[in-house]
Chains A and B, each alone.
Chain A
Amino acid sequence: MKRTGLILGIVIILVCNGIALIGVAHNRAGDPAQTIELTERELPLVNSDPENTGVDLRINWTQAPLSPRASSLDQTQLETAGFSFPVPPGARTQDFAFLPREAWVAFEHEGQRWEEWRRQAEQAKQEDSTAAVQTAGPSPSGRGSNSWPGLFLVDTSKDISDLRSRYPDQGKYLIVRAVLMARTVAVKDSKTGEITSYKYSGRVVQIMPDVIHVPLPYSRLISSLKPRTEGEPRYTVTLKYGTSLEPWVSAVTLR
């Protein structure tokens, strides 16, 4: 029995590692599905433990509209991503929790919408109003606009080929797997404040993977840098996504 445990354990270790490595080889075989160049704004260093010598970057992205509780996806976009909104008989709409779903999302890199959003947010900040902004990484409030992430959520779908056909420019649009959540929002009468109806909206809660490991020799270039949220980007990273839409770093250059 003890020998069986040993053999079985070794087989499990080897098979699991084999499956994982075959998956990696399959992902990286052939031409990459997409290649995009991002800066420190979109790929800041992860604040790691001083005893951890690995170098990781977090994909920093933005979604609007711009308040902490607001949602960036409307009902049509959510339905395209696979959501349906059947409310059970007798249930109150606001009491129903929709199943979080995986879908594909497209981010535009430093596009028109992002410029517009940045201008509005800058303006709002200057007017001393709440520059209500929602990002996946650290909040941009208090940052200079140069450090705001340039990846701006533009669309979603449950079908990746649908997104690819709508956003074919690989250098401009990043398409990744993400987890989406939907919720019910009360629509109130502007005069009386009473709830008149409900609508559905949603947001991206996580992209997968959201942390990118930087291997040697690229990590040597940036391992001495300290994570920061201010100032001009200090490096540019070329990310390639393979057939399974899993990324890897193919180049790092200091600016």
Chain B
Amino acid sequence: MSDTLEKKEAQQRVDRIQAFRDELAQLESEEVLALTAEQRARLNSHLDRTLAELAGRYDVDMSASQRQISLAMRIASALGGLALCAAVFLFFYRYWGSMITPLQVGILVAIPILLLFATSWVSRKEKTLYYTSLLALVAFGSFVLNLNVLGSIFNMTPSPGAFLAWGLFALALAYGFRLRMELAAGLVLVVIYLAASIHSLSGGAWILVTERPETFLPGGLALLAIPALVRHGKQPGFLPIYRLCGLGFIFLALLVLGNAGQLTYLPFAKKAVEGIYQMSGFAAAVAAIWIGLRRHQTESVNLGSAFFAIYLFNRLFVWWWDWMPKYLLFLIVGLIALILLAAFRRLRDRTAKLETA
């Protein structure tokens, strides 16, 4: 069992123990159940020992306030990482004009390597990943700076290969140190590289890859396929990130194409293309919700629901904005929101039933 899985299970057990204690107290106050003094002492001793062991081994949150502090620490770690990235960028730009080219190159290569060593050292020292995550983010930022400035120093023609390099580096950090933020960054960058390559192969200028949003669809689909094809026994928390990134690319591409049918490779008229992609958008959102429900993938259900609503409201505004009085349009949008709320509530109940089953 991996550390991540163990920590998740440890946290679940702590939560179960807290819930058990609360419910036991409730049952005793309602005089449904009464433990003898000996039973109570034995139970408390066992539970306290278990909690202490879990806390010592996995650094789990023992209370709601601890959980809130942990969340704050994660946010601080991310913000701190971003601030340190900015510090590295600005420090380099402040002094690079006074350096000869070999020194510039040497520093650019050395910074991410040193930060990688620091990340690796810290990750071996801490049970949680707050400092590891922070340092990994700065290492990633430094590598972005490295290739970016190298391109500037030698006046290189921009290449999509840089996105592949940054993406692979982020994935190495993610899998090496079990970091989700780096995983998301790596997946996004690799999909951008794929899209730019497809655009380039089709004869387009890769720097204007957004002129053909269809180029993002293969990468998005590949991200959805990976969790099904590749086992992530050691990193089960990574699978939702794959699905979120994959669905995000697909939904956004379909949203743009549904509104700007001229940005297509399809040999059809603009209106026809928009119609195809609008239908595809709704179908994809429904499919994400349906598959998410069947496979207990909360993130797919949530993102599918959100984009279903976005597609719907987008269409309503496009169809009715010009000819319908605004108060009536917003009234209809409000009523539809209520219907959607009822539908999503039923969906939530169904999800709860499935999870219970």
Contacts and interface: CB of A to CB of B under 8 A. Distances in A.
B101 A17 contact: no
Contact of A101 (B154, B205, B262, B270): B205
A4 B176 CA distance: 6
A246 B176 contact: no
Given A53-B94, A99-B211, A100-B204, 13 more contacts: A5-B172, A5-B175, A6-B120, A10-B116, A17-B108, A17-B150, A20-B150, A51-B90, A53-B96, A82-B203, A96-B262, A96-B270, A246-B154
A247 B155 contact: yes
Contact of A2 (B101, B158, B177, B202): B177
B146 A17 contact: yes
Contacts of B165: 12, 16
Interface stretch (A113-121, A162-170, A206-214): A206-214
B157 A88 contact: no
Contacts of B176: 1-2, 4-6, 8-9
A33 to B, nearest CB: 13
A126 B291 CA distance: 70
A248 B157 contact: no
A179 B156 contact: no
Given A88-B269, A101-B204, A179-B208, A9 B93 contact: no
Chain A's interface size range is: 35 or more
- Which 6 residue pairs are nearest across A and B when measured between Cβ atoms? A5-B176, A53-B97, A97-B262, A91-B269, A8-B172, A90-B269
Mostly, the B contact residues are helix
Contacts of A14: 109
Interface in B135-192: 139, 143, 146-147, 150-158, 161, 165, 168-169, 172-173, 175-178
A213 B93 CA distance: 13
Contacts of A55: 97
A52 B96 CA distance: 8
Given A53-B96, A99-B202, A5 B156 contact: no
B282 to A, nearest CB: 23
A193 B90 CA distance: 56
Contacts of B158: 208-209
A9 B139 contact: yes
Contacts of A51: 90, 93-94
Nearest to B99: A216
B175 A1 contact: yes
19 contacts: A3-B120, A10-B116, A13-B112, A16-B165, A17-B146, A17-B150, A20-B151, A21-B150, A53-B93, A89-B269, A91-B269, A97-B263, A100-B208, A100-B211, A101-B203, A102-B206, A208-B158, A209-B157, A213-B153
B205 A179 contact: yes
A177 interface: yes
A24 B272 CA distance: 47
A208 B160 CA distance: 13
A95 interface: yes
A99 B203 contact: yes
A244 interface: yes
Interface in A30-62: 49, 51-56
Contacts of B123: 2
A223 B97 contact: yes
A23 interface: yes
A219 B211 contact: no
B95 interface: yes
A49 B152 contact: no
A91 B202 CA distance: 21
A14 B143 CA distance: 11
Interface in B246-288: 261-263, 266-270, 272
Given A16-B147, A53-B97, A223-B97, A99 B156 contact: no
A12 B165 CA distance: 7
A255 interface: no
A32 to B, nearest CB: 13
A53 B104 CA distance: 13
Contacts of A20: 147, 150-151, 154, 156
A99 B210 CA distance: 11
A5 B105 contact: no
B157 A246 contact: yes
